[in-house]
Amino acid sequence: MNADDFGRHKLINAAVEQGCVSGCLRSATLMPGGVAFEDAIRIAKAHPELGVGVHLTLVNGNPVLPPEKIPSLVTEEGVFWPDHMTFIKKYFLGQIRMSEVKRELAAQMLKVQGTDITISHVDSHQHLHTLPGIMKFVLRLAQEYGVHAIRIPLTPIKVEAAELNSPMQLIGRAGLAFLAKLAAGKAQQKGFLMPDHFAGLVAGGAVDTAALLDICQTLEDGTTEVMLHPGTDNQTLTRECEWEHDFEAELGAITAPEVKDALEEQGVIIGNFTTLGA
């Protein structure tokens, strides 16, 4: 179970720590440009049982490099473009300079390495690392930093299709599945470790206790990553992250006794990306 956006906000960091101490969370990915980055590092060092990866960020956040050095990646306000759809459109129109993508992602990895945190894996905000040109560079960058595990967000489309709210959601899910399958092939060729299965993209938005119980009770053989976005205060996080998401429900899910009981009954091992190499 991996908490994304670690370091984005102190209320997200607090949920990660609570999920680690009182629940079944053992993995998180750190947003290098997050305003609560230093607070996240403090928590990570206090809890060595928490595997910490790098949540490479190219949208909906703050760059590590000065905005003037990466003009194609940022708005006039000096922040990244607001979402993956805006980025992808610009990417395929040739308006995103790959040289700037490479410099920014390298700076993000360097920033995390400079904290002396052992990097467990890499993934990305809104899954942009699965784009073909970016994936190739991310794999090379990860290898340079001695990281050999990566997220592959290959979620089954058929399971969710009946629950999706619009045709565009189905198209988006199918597009991600296609990119993830290509990314998995490239990662396997390079010898990267990755979970066998991926969960956490649910039609209702949040992985609440009922959704997490369903995931836990229908696990397939092998390893499964469950992507999560827990937080401690919906009102504040919705406003400051500009995202209508039930952060509190996901925190409740990872700390729910019934989830822990369900996993124990099935003999499931709760680990992180370092477990893949065990």
Host H or E run for residue 123: strand 119-124
Model confidence pLDDT, tens digit, residues 147-203: 999 999 988 655 454 455 566 677 778 889 999 999 999 999 999 999 999 999 876
- What span, in angstroms and rounded, lies between the C-alpha atoms of 156 and 202? 11
Q: Specify the pLDDT at position 164.
A: 52
Whether residue 115 has pLDDT greater than 80? yes
Helices 10-22 & 37-46 angle (0-180, nearest 10): 10
Model confidence pLDDT, tens digit, residues 51-88: 999 999 999 999 999 999 999 999 999 999 999 999 99
What residue segments make up the domains of the chain, in order of their start?
A: 2-277
Q: Specify the pLDDT at position 107.
A: 98
> At the topology level of CATH, where does 2-277 sit?
TIM Barrel (3.20.20)
CB neighbours of residue 169 within 10 Å: 14
Tell me the pTM. Answer: 0.94
